[in-house]
Chains A and B, each alone.
Chain A
Amino acid sequence: MKSKFFYLLTTLGIFLTLYSCGNSQQNNGALSSNAADRVYVAPGEHDDYYAFISGGFSGQLSVYGLPSGRLFKVIPVFSQDAEKAYGYNEETKPMLNTSHGFIPWDDSHHPDISQTNGELDGRWVFINGNNTPRIAKIDLSVFETTEIIEIPNSAGNHSSAFVTENTEYVVAGTRFSVPVPQRDMPISEYKGNFKGALTFISVEPEHGHMDIAFQLMMPGFDYDLSHPGRGKSHGWFFFSTYNSEEASTLMEVNASQNDKDFIAAVNWKAIEEYVKNGGGTMMPANYAHNVYDEGTHMATSTMKKEVRVVNPSEVPGAVFLLPTPKSPHGCDVDPSGEYIVGAGKLSADLTVHSFTKMLDAIENEKYEGEAYGIPILSFEDVRAGTVSQPGLGPLHTEFDGQGNAYTTFFISSEVVKWKLGTWEVLDRQPCYYSVGHLMIPGGNSRKPFGQYVVAMNKITKDRYLPTGPEVTQSAQLYDISGDKMELLLDFPTVGEPHYAAGIAADIVKQRSKKIFELQNNNHPYGIKSDADVRVERDGKDVHVYMSMIRSHFNPDNIEGIRVGDRVYFHVTNLEQDYDVPHGISMIGANTSELLIMPGQTETFVWEPKQPGVWPFYCTDFCSALHQEMQGYVRVSPADNSPDLRWSLGE
């Protein structure tokens, strides 16, 4: 009898579950029946949005289309990429130079697209290297990294790389405070001695060249994330902090003791004015500034020797601290610029500050105290509201431009939609699993494209076919155009999809270059036609000025190379047709292939180690006669070699 009763209950339970599934489809994450239609982009059609999804520990930036989730390109930024010879060829090696020497890797976190008047202009993407602090700029006319600047006095460059509303500055804040300048000292003397540098990098409006304008030397907290003010709060920048305890060991406990940490509000316009009037001091430093020139197709690395530092306590009205509960992580500003959302990751609530109330508190000097000379405002004077108990482990918030905010919750693994102003929770959708950042295209601007949100998950477990212990991380696409969010698509990502920036495709795609004009090629070893093809010896260095065009190399026979030579293959692609790159690789070369775009010149070095006749070939299937695109180099003993000669078709 007992078992029969149990059976009945179970059956009833199953029935109820099914019934509720049918009724509350959107609440349990089930797909609506036409989800496939809504993400389907027919063959030959284009996606509506570009999504630039960072690779986290891969150090790169991936380019996806939305809503399809198709991967188009992985742009190498901070890590060597043998596929594209980035960091392997002679032209791009300087891009990865730092004050610590050549570094083939970094941890790329937060991409942000350049803005004009608070709207995305689609010219550049900036992204931070977390580990060896750097900021990179990707030029969206070529989808290549064209500039990297190292950040001195910084460590764990995490509250970066966010741009102000006219791309006046890209901002890089340090996560780890360190001795400034670096010196040998006991770690236990952290408190009061370590500093947190917030770096403002000016961006030259025409070409986007970066230069460190000033570094604000803040107290030794951890500066976690940041966002610019916009609209009414343009001119301010907001940084979340944790470890206001200034602990240096067992951080998970010791940096989680204070009930409230801070959001630091920085009036950068006031500091800019201060610096313009000669404020701040030039401090000796050593950091690399690497610039890739599209004309010479080459990067140069320059070591810079000083940086301007500003002590916040010496600039009245420049910095204020807004108490924010429990180690806030995300620090996000709504499209109007009024609300600053602090996601206290150890709190169950979300705190929203009001810019207007903050200005009022500052004007009336309602200070609660100070930290190292920086005024602390009172929590209740700046708080606009609290989203009460929306989930567990709030991290990041983006906005749809319709008065709604979307916050990720790492621990409860969900995205929660709530309303600005009333602070009521409107909807929630699960994430699979443990979501970090989320991205609404334009969600960090005055004008979000509020159609989709992409959630980026750290853990996938059983969501895809297993691939051994290491499984893919993933992104999830939700339609947010209706009242309720709808999950449409899962797609795997490259590396860790740490954060992303999205933009309407139309803004970017017509600016995308098809070829490099050969006549504008100013590479010092480039050639403009077959008439310039030659091989020159300079001691043990041999320079091959080679051309490639369908379907041959010129020269394709070279003799007179000796064991012990350093042979530089400077290879110019003479093609001027869209999507006709050629590659080249030499047997035994201790480097990657080259992949050379039409009109471009790239260089690899080969050091032959034994006599013989050694072939090279085109590595990119370029044409019907790609297999015939090959050549030979004769290598002779150092003391007995024929004269240097080269030829094609003789």
Chain B
Amino acid sequence: MLEIRNLNAWYGESHILHGTNMDVPEGRVVSLLGRNGAGKTTTMRSIMGLMDRTSGTLNYKGDNLLNLRPDQIARKGIALCPEDRCIFPSLTVTENLFLPPIIAKGGMDIEEIHTLFPNIRERAASRGTDLSGGEQQMLAIARILRTGARLLLLDEPTEGLAPVIVQQISRTIARIKEHGYSILLVEQNAHFVEGLADVHYLIENGMIVDRLEGTEFARQISRVEKLLGL
């Protein structure tokens, strides 16, 4: 579905990604693990066309995404749930939820979203920033499920959340996976992705240093945690 080959990316003069290679197959959950500053978010931003400069190949369903604008990339069926959640403070929960346009058929309808995230129904009229961190994360995920995008880029969805909320997010991602979505999941929390992802990539200094199948991951987890500095 998404093939990344020899991806390089820059912020101004700073060279962040150095020839990244990875694949996100259709209907699979792929994790990208690494320390702070390893290049995880930059990989996401490069896929969405949000970097100053990129080179290499970003092949999505036969189209090269490189040099497309972010809105054109989104309309190919890719949606980003950013690290900071980006809930708009001047908008209500409902306005935040309906902000992204429908780009293809097959997105979740509002009833399915309310079933998956009951809090969103209850807090519909609240300002987005009045929500708790967990609720904001749910809203940020719900927002992209409506659009019909089939590849979801989730950037550290558990960051700063209490363990009980992290479990809730984990169950939610598992249910989203059951709906057939492809997910690229950026994380620093190896235990969070352990049961969720089918394939794991480890990134360090802007380069992929290892690729582990889901079955192999449990055996290698101490090595992964060492790489993550845990």
Is A bound to B? Answer: no
Interface on B for A, CB 8 Å cutoff?
none
